[in-house]
Amino acid sequence: MSYQVLARKWRPRKFAEMVGQEHVLRALINALDNDRLHHAYLFTGTRGVGKTTVARIFAKSLNCESGVSAEPCGQCSACTEIDEGRFVDLIEVDAASRTKVEDTRDLLDNVQYAPTRGRYKVYLIDEVHMLSAHSFNALLKTLEEPPPHVKFLLATTDPQKLPATVLSRCLQFNLKRLPLPLIVGHLQHLLKIETIDSEEAALRLLARAADGSMRDALSLLDQAIAFGGGAVHEAEVRAMLGSIERRHVVEVLQALAAADGAAALQVVERLSQQAPDYEALLAEVLSYLQQIAIAQAVPEALDENLDEREAVLELAATIPAEDVQLFYQIGLLGRRDLQLAPDPRGGLEMVLLRMLAFRPASAEAPARGESSATSGKPVTATASPAAAPARKAAAPDPAASDWRTLVDTMQLKGVLRELAMNCAVKQRDDDRWLLVVDTSHQQLLNKERQQRLEKTLAACLQQSIRLDIEIEGCAGSTPAQQQRMENENRQAQAVSAIESDPNIKAIQKAFDATLHVESIRPLDSR
């Protein structure tokens, strides 16, 4: 027997086998079971979400020899012939290839005659929006006064192109794109039955590439099985799809977090050896930024099973929330305009550099090559980051000061440093330390990080210790809070120094200039 592709082999034969679309199925099942049948149904939705499949099952329910119901037997001649596509009273038409009015008239000439075998004569017209205006006029007359033995099932990916007169005579059902977890779960179920080895990460890649279409997901799965020699593994699927490895995307985001344009371009340079899809790389960056924003704003909503969860949390603790939003917006616009760039790689590089160029002024030191000169425009006086002195802030309380010194001494990195910076010392004995972290930063805390911090602190103090970390609504004075207060103090003094500078006042008076205080940075800003 010849091989049957998965999309056909596992095509649902009854409503219970459908994946998703419960809102549509519920209405159809109730209509069939309660004998409240309309004469025309319109199924809309993007490709591969089940429009034609739902229509065929509905036709089977109407003509099953055991009676009209939402549970056709699947065994009678009507059910088997519909499944095999040879039921004489199910007339399937591809409107894309029969757009002329003559085709429609020929099709409808036999509407008046009773069905040959079944209970109803069912017209299933796919891509109905492709019919011409004259064809719609010919169809409209039948839709207005259909014989009792005729049902029309129309399917389209573009309902906006249908005349209002046709829409008003149909019950319309919009089939939705299938969510990624639903597609992944269905693929896992089928592969278990097929006894094919697979990795969940690979199936997530296929589901993401399918873009809400189960048919596309099954077609890609067929391709992945062939490409992987009978197995579906992440590395092979990435190679097949031309997907970018997650570590490269993380490296790009780490470079953006560090405001290091050279590092970002080096990642692109390394990737260029693999002839990647640069638009796909930008899309992956945007996907990460979305997850980072969720981790920052609503950490409890972050998917626990996210493959890159640890990397997302580290980046969420490193990149300011306003930068994440700006990067995302610039990336969206850049993706739209990428096709206009002289070459895709250059377009991607410009998007990354634009993210850094328009990054909000922060407490970081000026980037390499940043000029301290003003723009020279006569209507604006912009202060240089190097234009204002700053004084040191007052020392914090001794216990917290000791902890801040220890954090610097331990030379922690990434999310572990963020955790330590947002902790405060609540109690400490000879060998026991009790820290507290504010509820706004509780996403940084987990058992593994607490153990790592305990081990690093013990090595720094050169003694055995026990470290506990609790979550409190107000964690007290943490190193991060101290640093923010110092930065705000220095910033306020820098602004005051610039505003009272005689030269600045003279420029404002002479040119009716406006001072952009947001551009002022103290000399020793960190």
Q: pLDDT digit string (tens) for 240-260?
A: 887 677 788 889 999 998 889
Q: How far apart are CA 41 and CA 25, in angstroms?
A: 13
Helix (H, G, I), strand (E, B) or coil at 377: coil
Q: How far apart are CA 199 and CA 201, in angstroms?
A: 5
Strand-pair category, 171-174 with 380-381: unpaired
pLDDT (average), residues 421-450 = 87
Please check whether residues 483 and 472 belong to one and the same domain. no
Please check whether residues 206 and 263 belong to one and the same domain. no
- Give the CATH number for residue 157: 3.40.50.300
pLDDT (average), residues 294-309 = 78
* pLDDT score for 306: 67
Please check whether residues 388 and 507 belong to one and the same domain. yes
**What residue numbers bound the domain in which 272 lies?**
246-357
pLDDT (average), residues 390-395 = 39
Kindly indicate the confidence band of residue 99, based on its pLDDT and cuts at 50, 70 and 90: low
- Give the CATH number for residue 228: 1.10.8.60
Give the domain-ending residue among 128, 154, 174: 174
Please check whether residues 251 and 391 belong to one and the same domain. no
* pLDDT score for 475: 58
104-139 pLDDT tens trace: 787 777 788 888 888 999 999 998 888 888 888 888
Helix (H, G, I), strand (E, B) or coil at 469: strand
pLDDT of 389 above 90: no
pLDDT (average), residues 314-332 = 90
pLDDT of 96 above 60: yes
Please check whether residues 522 and 383 belong to one and the same domain. yes
Please check whether residues 388 and 467 belong to one and the same domain. no
Helical H segments across 116-178, by residue range: 133-144, 164-167
Please check whether residues 316 and 392 belong to one and the same domain. no
Q: How far apart are CA 409 and CA 184, in angstroms?
A: 46
Q: For the chain, how are helix, strand and coil distributed in percent, rounded to 5?
A: 55, 10, 35
Please check whether residues 143 and 25 belong to one and the same domain. yes
For residues 48 and 210, the answer to whether their CB atoms sit within 8 Å is: yes
* pLDDT score for 525: 53
* pLDDT score for 369: 39
Looking at the domain assignment, is residue 221 inside a domain? yes
Looking at the domain assignment, is residue 335 inside a domain? yes
* pLDDT score for 24: 92
The amino acid present at 294, given as its one-letter code, is I
51-87 pLDDT tens trace: 999 999 999 999 999 889 899 988 899 999 998 888 9
Query: What is the number of domains present in the chain?
Result: 5
DSSP state of 302: S
Please check whether residues 268 and 331 belong to one and the same domain. yes
pLDDT (average), residues 322-342 = 91
- Give the CATH number for residue 341: 1.20.272.10
Looking at the domain assignment, is residue 226 inside a domain? yes
Average pLDDT over all residues of the chain: 83
Helix (H, G, I), strand (E, B) or coil at 333: helix
- Give the CATH number for residue 470: 3.30.300.150
> Token pair of 171, please?
């019950």
Dihedral angle, C-alpha 364, 370, 374, 379, nearest 10 °: -80
* pLDDT score for 374: 34
The amino acid present at 413, given as its one-letter code, is K
The model's pTM is 0.59
* pLDDT score for 394: 39
Please check whether residues 123 and 47 belong to one and the same domain. yes
* pLDDT score for 395: 39
Query: How many C-alpha atoms does 61 have within 13 Å on its Cβ side?
Result: 24
Please check whether residues 192 and 231 belong to one and the same domain. yes
171-199 pLDDT tens trace: 999 999 998 889 999 999 999 999 999 99
pLDDT (average), residues 208-221 = 90
For residues 125 and 155, the answer to whether their CB atoms sit within 8 Å is: yes
* pLDDT score for 9: 87
Looking at the domain assignment, is residue 366 inside a domain? no
